[in-house]
């Protein structure tokens, strides 16, 4: 194996959770009397953390009011329609069998990320799940990545980050990690390459060769 540690983004990389994310943004904006976003608009807004997504969709002036509405609906419905992306479980199992440490590094709320990973049966395959709110930082702040690596015993020089967005790429660059892009989430191969990615793949089965 090329790397000893692999950090995975969650939404759009390991899992498809966009229906639930869209539903909760629509709920919050409907409650506030604002136009409901489309699924495409939600996909384009996520990646930088929940507060930033709400600001992009509803306006920064509505973040404080929309956030508790989103979380209320999320806590009630978030496991209704979440699924692993093709090849996710198989790749994690193969990396584990080869002695590679795998962990999740996401800007989804940490408690929500751990709940989803447990629901999908990923816990035995992950050395840790690190999300927003666990520490003071989120991607692409290098301190967030350094925290995760310290917790799982990884070193930047032998770690790759697999993700679907420029936030993930910037996190890898800021921390000195390798980056492997997948286009199963929010950004196309062209967009990832324009941001500086050199290795992009249609999905996790195709990305296996880079790991």
Q: What's the mean pLDDT when you consider all of the chain?
A: 95
Average pLDDT for residues 202-208, to the nearest whole number? 96
How do residues 102-111 score in pLDDT, each as one tens digit? 999 999 999 9
How do residues 58-71 score in pLDDT, each as one tens digit? 999 999 999 999 99
The domains of the chain are located at: 5-16+84-210, 18-77
Domain 5-16+84-210 fold is: Rossmann fold (3.40.50)
Burial of 62 (0-12, 13-18, 19+ CB in 10 A): middle
Q: Two tokens at 196?
A: 């500086």
pLDDT of residue 1: 66
Decide if pLDDT at 49 tops 90.
no
Considering only CA atoms, which of 98, 113, 129 is closest in space to residue 208? 98
How do residues 73-110 score in pLDDT, each as one tens digit? 999 998 988 999 999 999 999 999 999 999 999 999 99
Q: Catalytic site residues?
A: 9, 11
Q: What's the CATH number for 18-77?
A: 1.10.150.240
């Amino acid at each position: 194996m090329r790397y000893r540690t692999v950090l995975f983004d969650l939404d759009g990389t390991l899992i498809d959770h966009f229906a639930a994310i869209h539903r909760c943004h629509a709920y919050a904006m409907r409650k506030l009397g604002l136009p409901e976003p489309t699924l495409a608009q939600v996909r384009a807004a996520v990646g930088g953390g929940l507060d930033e997504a709400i600001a992009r969709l509803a306006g920064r002036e509505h973040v404080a009011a929309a956030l508790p509405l989103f979380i209320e609906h999320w806590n009630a419905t978030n496991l209704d329609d979440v699924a692993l992306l093709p090849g996710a479980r198989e790749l994690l199992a193969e990396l584990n069998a080869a002695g590679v440490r795998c962990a999740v590094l996401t800007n989804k709320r940490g408690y929500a990320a751990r709940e989803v990973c447990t629901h999908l049966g990923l816990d035995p395959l992950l050395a840790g799940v690190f999300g927003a709110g666990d520490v003071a930082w989120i991607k692409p702040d290098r301190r967030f990545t350094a925290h995760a690596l310290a917790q799982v015993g990884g070193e930047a020089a032998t770690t790759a980050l697999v993700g679907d967005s420029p936030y993930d790429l910037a996190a890898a660059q800021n921390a000195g990690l390798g980056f492997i892009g997948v286009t199963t989430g929010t950004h196309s191969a062209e967009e990832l390459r324009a941001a500086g990615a050199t290795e992009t793949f249609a999905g996790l089965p195709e990305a296996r060769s880079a790991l």
